[in-house]
Structure 1
Amino acid sequence: MEAETDAGARSRLVVLAAMRGISLASLSAMIGRNQTYLQQFVRKGSPRKLEENDRRTLAHFFGVNEAELGAPVAAKIIGGGREAAARSPAAYRASLAEWADVPRLPLGASAGPGAHAAEEIPSGRLRFSNRWLKAQGLEPVMLSVIEVEGDSMEPTLRDGDEILVDRTPRPLRSGIHVIRLDDVLLVKRLETGPGGTLRVISDNAAYPRMERSALDVEIVGRVVWKGGRL
């Protein structure tokens, strides 16, 4: 019976992904895993079961009962005996809707000389309240957390701060963004300039401002939150 449940969870995940038009590789990245993680789960049964946090995040993303992805039936003790007590889909969704696990990307967004672009494989997750994200107009699947390196954005951002980056395509407005410039990943303040240019600004006055063609600047996402050590 347990093996059938595991196989059912794998099949259900494939169906849900196809219905959403999203790849297993993208889903793996969303839950902070390497890109082959869910492919291995589906095709080879490794891991045999999804970990609880991964299962919860996926169930929330698809809006389904966590049991559909292999969650065990809850048990409660009544009068000294055990009675299976499966929670209703509505109760599951209410629980899942409370939090979102946003992947941490290990490649630092440099606030100094710059970090060369590399493969961005998540190395962990940071949990945010879905209520807060919704209030900010943010979609969890479009978010990632990156660590700042360097001092060029001080005092706004310090070396080691973590920033929440919104990758949702939006019209550019002035603010702090993660960008790629000359194949280097940077976190800078952007302002529109004359003649199709962008002003690339460091908050630390010790660093010079740059003015570059907007075509040369790839905007990865807008910084919408920061956290760091005191």
Structure 2
Amino acid sequence: MVRKLILEKLEEKGLTMSEASLRIGYNHAYLQQFLKRGHPLELPEKSRLPLAELLGVPEDQLRGPSSKLPKREYVKVNPSLRESLIAAHPLRSKLSDNQQLALDVTPGSQLVGERDLPVFGTAQGGSGALIVTDGPVDWVVRPDPLLRVKDGYGMIVTGDSMDPVHKHGSTALVNPHIPWRSGDTCIFRSHHDNGDNIVIIKELRRFTDDTWYVRQYNPPKDFTLKRSEWQVCHVTVGNFFSR
């Protein structure tokens, strides 16, 4: 229905797909890809708003069906001059100065497309570590930071050691391809001989060839991990927090 409406309005206004794409700030092929090839599956808010204005229709008429899913909200935060996301949290005072940069609420309507992002469950293990499920326990709609990321995934957070950045019961969003660096919040993974996958979520402070230097927030604590035992480090780029 959305695509049909756009085509009808373009014809009414005597605009080509290429002309309309350029007028809303995108390359000339943007609308053709959406209307004829189905990519993206639904229009994100950043293109939906100017297109609605151009066509003279309410923005709601250009929303896809996923906008009617249960709303989730997340807040943009830039803890290390890189975009990441955390759940909306009233206690800004708990965040460091650079974590408060670019704080900005992003509506759930920006979560578009099919439910194709796998979410893995966790259970509390020893020494604050989490045991990860063998397979996904849920599939959710992808937010913008993982929209086209191969092998992106979510992981349910158990415990409050990284509150308020990752709250108990929220879902950490992970891009396994971003190079980690100091200041990133990361998932560290250990593969045990018995087949268990063990993870912890901590802030990466620095690293050497054989050691991760990490920090947790609750209770505040800095400690080290042997890289020979914690072989994988994946950067979190956000956080789902269901309302």
* TM superposition score normalised by structure 1: 0.48
The structure whose residues are more often helix, as a share, is 1
| More relative contact order, 1 or 2 (CA 8 Å, 6+ apart) | 2
* TM superposition score normalised by structure 2: 0.46
